[in-house]
Amino acid sequence: MNEEVLVSAHPVSDEMRAVVLKHLAELETQHQVTVLFACESGSRGWGFASPDSDYDVRFVYVNRLPWYLTVDPGRDVIELPISGELDINGWDLRKALTLLRASNPTLLEWLRSPVVYQRADPWFDRLRLLAETHFSPVRGYHHYVSMARKNLREHLYGDVVRYKKYLYVLRPLLAARWIREARGVPPMRFAELAAQTLTDPALLDEINALLKVKMSTGEAGTSPRWVGIHDFIERELAVAMAHVVSDDREADTQALDQYLHDAVLHVDARHRNKD
């Protein structure tokens, strides 16, 4: 199946990109941090945004050296108040590396987002390589299966269903299938994920129809149950829950410590040269 057959789009205008970059520059100055990378998460990153979807901007940043040398740890999250369609928040690098060691799927998706607003090279590529090296199929699999099960139970059993909720179940189910097939870290783009894990033409056609409606309708858009998709979801979840993924790898904390050390000293030295 050619992935281009499936509808996919990551709509971020030049004007909105400029707005996001302005906010990132302001928070760097206000909090005295350096953004290592910033990306689009959520539906715009997955490729099925509605016309009124928010911009979910996520980033990882580095503090100045003194921040890491205190007995009491400081706040390791920066969250800007949600303004209109903009939702911007990020994690300090040490927090991000702690989550990376635990193979946090959310961070892995950020690092694989097709929409990157800002990146510091070579630090972005080095962090992404660390994330993929430390990927745990067991943790990733359980995360995605639990997410699919929860969203199915909470959102898909009514007579009327929101379009996006089908995708919020399909995406983690297909990510779990990707892991089950021993392919490593699942791609973030839903079109790529579906095209490379599904072969049933009727199911793909129905998913494509759902994508087209979802991407042309507001976030709150609803419809009666999509029978083919719903039946597939229940069958696939049963398979996913019965499967056991094994993995004996251990996180290399030394490599993560080295990255933190190098990045913090590099950023701090750059700031000192400016001061």
pLDDT in tens, 26-84: 999 999 999 999 999 999 999 999 999 999 999 999 999 999 999 999 999 999 988 88
pLDDT score of 159: 84
b (16+ CB within 10 A) / e for 215-224:
bebeeeeeee
The CATH number that applies at residue 254 is 3.30.460.10
Tell me, yes or no, whether 111 and 49 share the same domain. Answer: yes
Tell me, yes or no, whether 145 and 124 share the same domain. Answer: no
pLDDT score of 5: 66
Tell me, yes or no, whether 94 and 32 share the same domain. Answer: yes
pLDDT score of 2: 42
Report the SS3 class of residue 268.
helix
pLDDT score of 4: 44
Assess whether the previous peptide bond of 122 is cis (omega < 30° from 0).
yes
Which structural domain range is residue 38 located in?
Answer: 8-135+249-274
pLDDT score of 1: 41
**How many domains does the chain contain in total?**
2
CA 167 to chain centre: 14
pLDDT score of 29: 95
Tell me, yes or no, whether 126 and 13 share the same domain. Answer: yes
pLDDT score of 91: 98
Name the residue type at position 130. Answer: L
The answer to whether residue 3 is domain-embedded is no
pLDDT score of 96: 97
The whole-angstrom separation of Cα 58 and Cα 80 is 11
Report the SS3 class of residue 84.
coil
Q: What is the mean pLDDT of each run of 10 residues along the chain (275 residues)?
A: 67 94 96 96 94 96 96 95 92 97 92 96 95 92 96 91 95 97 93 95 95 93 93 97 83 92 94 78
Tell me, yes or no, whether 115 and 157 share the same domain. Answer: no
pLDDT score of 56: 96
Largest pairwise CA distance in the chain: 63
The answer to whether residue 1 is domain-embedded is no
DSSP string, 7-64: --B----HHHHHHHHHHHHHHHHHHTEEEEEEEEEHHHHHTB--TT--EEEEEEEEE-
pTM attached to this predicted model: 0.92
Tell me, yes or no, whether 142 and 236 share the same domain. Answer: yes
CB 61 within 8 A of CB 34: yes
